[in-house]
Amino acid sequence: MPRSRPRSPLPPPERSTRRHFLIHALAGEPACDQRCNMPKVLISDELSPRAAQIFRDRGVEVDEKPGLKKDELIAIIGQYDGLAIRSATKVTAEVLAAATNLKVVGRAGIGVDNVDIPAATARGVVVMNTPFGNSITTAEHAIAMMFAVARDIPAATASTHAGKWEKNRFMGVELYAKTLGLIGAGNIGSIVADRAQGLKMHVVAYDPFLTPDRAREIGVEKVELDELFARADFITLHTPLTDGTRNIINAASIAKMRDGVRIINCARGGLIVEEDLKAALDSGKVGGAALDVFAVEPAKENILFGHEKVVATPHLGASTTEAQENVALQVAEQMSAYLVDGAVSNALNMPSVTAEEAPACAPT
């Protein structure tokens, strides 16, 4: 019995030369048309030099041009089959319209809110990310931020450096025996749960995709969102920014929380209504917040900056040497595999396909 073929949300490839490329890629043919000798990739954000070498070793031509302005990117993007990015490059519909030969966008990292995925899909461009390369690093940062807000470490550091020795001013709380509420229990959330259990915390989790078996496997109690709000001493967010999660922390949800709750966000800034959080911090309803992400970034100013109960870092969740190396190498491997062999992995708008399966998935 013939194997069923994975269906792609991409439009019919016959509608344009660019989409026609997908037929050849899925058939395992070289991902380059007759106008060029090899696929060509632009790296438009800072990546490890080893990423460029991976492309070259796989037979992909590569240009490294980090820091391009929007108009500069639009002017040259038509030359490239692939675009490798981090968070700085904004792959908008306007950029995609100019990308007449683009086949794949590779995000070195998890978040793809800087990529217009519907516009990419409409133009037959595969969008990939690297969801596992910085999971440990981001989870560790969330734990570090939880410690920092529990013990007022940044404020105590500044006070001590100033020679004040305000030992009685900084009265923190223990993590031991506290309840941690996870909003999102995927790759990062499950690692946070593991580390929190090592601290002897009780972990409850809200995640619509978390099965009872998986909850037992990672040692968390699956609950509904309102129950999490009511029970958690600490709440940490590990969910993508979608229409369903945007502003999930707001005045109404904060009203359901325990007095003195501490909130940690190392996921996406748009998950929290910052004005509502500030009001709750001012009133004492929320005992503290540790934020690595903000609604507008780069955050040169923010309503929460300077608040004595807020620990803030400049989107450092993935900023370790190990994580940046991992995601850079992974995105180069994935994009090369697609451009050269037609293999698809970690795509957000197309099913995964191995190089061996690619010929069988080609349209007949």
Residue with tokens 């070259």: 56
Vertex 327 angle, CA 53 and 120, to 5°: 95
> Is 268 designated active site?
yes
Residues 20, 37: Cα–Cα separation, whole Å: 18
> Is 315 designated active site?
yes
Residues in the chain: 364
Q: Please count the other Cβ atoms lying within 10 Å of the Cβ belonging to residue 108.
A: 31
Instruction: Please list, in sequence order, all residues whose beta carbon lies within 8 angstroms of the beta carbon of residue 21, skipping any fewer than 6 positions away.
Output: 13, 31, 33, 103, 124
Instruction: Give the residue among 59, 58, 17, 52 at the shortest CA–CA distance from 38.
Output: 59
DSSP state of 126: E
DSSP state of 6: P
DSSP strand E in the chain: where?
40-43, 61-64, 82-85, 104-107, 126-128, 179-183, 202-206, 221-222, 234-237, 261-265, 286-291, 310-312
Catalytic residue among 166, 297, 322, 356: 297
Q: Please count the other Cβ atoms lying within 10 Å of the Cβ belonging to residue 251.
A: 14
> Is 161 designated active site?
no
Catalytic residue among 19, 258, 268, 357: 268
Catalytic residue among 18, 123, 141, 315: 315
List active site positions: 268, 297, 315
